[in-house]
């Protein structure tokens, strides 16, 4: 028995856009198995703890006044912006608009030290419970931890 194509699903999948959360698909277990790392094109909000864990700040530097830390990170081109009310930062992306830690194999180069927002995605993020992945274009990955 052949499975019929759901053309509505095909049309929606073709229009998924990481920059438009309204186009994302509802997250389901196993969706990351064919991950294209589209979540790695989103801005990454990091805390002082994340920056220290990523070795972008020393523990001593993380104790400096917030504005001094912001200047230091901007001078080093580590961040794109600071969010003063939450004392967090947005990591600078590469020129191609992806996370600085995304490898050529589309895997996280700092997986064990990745920021909290990455660990908890998609439970938190622009549209909690949804992912920018396009399951129709997914390629199985058996090597993912």
Per-residue pLDDT at 102 exceeds 80: yes
pLDDT band at 65 (very low <50, low <70, confident <90, very high): very high
pTM: 0.74
3-state helix, strand, coil in the chain (%, to 5): 35, 15, 50
pLDDT of residue 77: 96
Give the whole-angstrom CA distance, residue 26 versus residue 133: 9
Give the whole-angstrom CA distance, residue 29 versus residue 40: 19
Per-residue pLDDT at 3 exceeds 80: no
pLDDT of residue 8: 42
24-37 pLDDT, tens per residue?
A: 888 888 777 777 78
- Among 2-6, 19-23, 40-44, the range with the most confident prediction by mean pLDDT is 40-44
pLDDT of residue 142: 47
Query: In residues, how long is the chain?
Result: 145
10 Å Cβ neighbour count for 36?
Answer: 18
pLDDT of residue 28: 80
Mean pLDDT on 112-125: 90
């Amino acid at each position: 028995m052949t499975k019929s194509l759901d053309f509505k699903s095909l049309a929606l999948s073709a229009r998924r856009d990481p920059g438009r959360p309204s186009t994302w698909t509802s997250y389901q277990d196993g969706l990351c198995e064919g991950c294209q790392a589209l979540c790695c094109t989103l801005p990454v909000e990091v805390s002082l703890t994340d920056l220290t864990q990523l070795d972008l700040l020393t523990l001593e530097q993380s104790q400096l006044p917030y504005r001094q830390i912001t200047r230091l990170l901007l001078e080093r081109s580590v961040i794109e912006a600071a969010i003063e009310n939450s004392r967090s930062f947005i990591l600078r992306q590469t020129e191609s608009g992806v996370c600085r830690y995304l490898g050529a194999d589309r895997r996280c180069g700092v997986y064990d030290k990745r920021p909290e927002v990455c660990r908890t995605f998609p439970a938190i993020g622009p549209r909690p419970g949804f992912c920018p992945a396009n399951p129709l274009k997914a390629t199985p990955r058996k090597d993912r931890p």
